[in-house]
A and B are shown apart, each in its own frame.
Chain A
């Protein structure tokens, strides 16, 4: 069983379109995240939700809207896609433990905007 699963794995679309990426975790974790990895391999946090509540909202254009229907799911909707949105988007989850949050990542969704 995949712990953190994302769909789709690959997404190719035109500028201006709207698209969604879905994420589900079966680890029973309370917190879920979206990270973006650009072409230089930098991973940067976008959002985090704890038990359906938005906790972290980095400086991300408001074309990006996360939605968490329950604590096992965190989806990402992107409106009016731009070329610069091309990246790999990683979903992750964690459970607060002793001393740190250890994130478990999904396999990533590679978005290409043409």
Chain B
């Protein structure tokens, strides 16, 4: 059965800390891995990864995929209180748009 597992499930840090969120997967016919940030409402897109070893970067956030070991990490440097959210990892199975989500990592950044 397809599965996506994220760790840790929750994390509390202080502003300025660096965090690493993990996502491992076992999905048939892998096509892509996506990271989303969910605050109060809709998940918002962060990164899409399809190739191993190529880092995607956006400001203080970066992500990389390892297709051999079947995992991805999301790094956030110099965290701010606005980074507090649930971070969702999802894997697209085939060319279907069917995303298999992990259970999310809840990040709380304290002032």
Q: Which residues of A contact B (CB under 8 A)?
A: 4, 31, 33, 35, 40-45, 48, 55-56, 90, 94, 96, 99-108
Contact = CB atoms under 8 A, between A and B. Distances in A.
24 contacts: A4-B42, A31-B97, A40-B103, A41-B103, A41-B106, A42-B101, A42-B104, A43-B99, A48-B96, A48-B98, A56-B98, A90-B42, A94-B97, A99-B32, A99-B50, A100-B31, A101-B92, A101-B96, A102-B45, A103-B45, A105-B42, A105-B43, A105-B44, A108-B41
Given A99-B50, A103-B34, 10 more contacts: A41-B86, A41-B103, A41-B106, A44-B101, A48-B96, A100-B31, A100-B34, A103-B45, A105-B43, A105-B44
A3 to B, nearest CB: 9
Contacts of A31: 97
Given A42-B103, A56-B96, A94-B97, A100 B42 contact: no
B23 interface: no
B74 interface: no
Interface of B: 31-32, 34, 36, 41-45, 48, 50, 86, 88, 90, 92, 95-101, 103-104, 106
A38 B95 CA distance: 25
B43 A100 contact: no
Contacts of A35: 99
A108 B42 contact: yes
A67 to B, nearest CB: 19
Contact of A96 (B34, B44, B95): B95
A100 B48 contact: yes
A105 B88 CA distance: 13
Nearest to A100: B32
Contacts of B96: 48, 55-56, 101
A45 B34 CA distance: 15
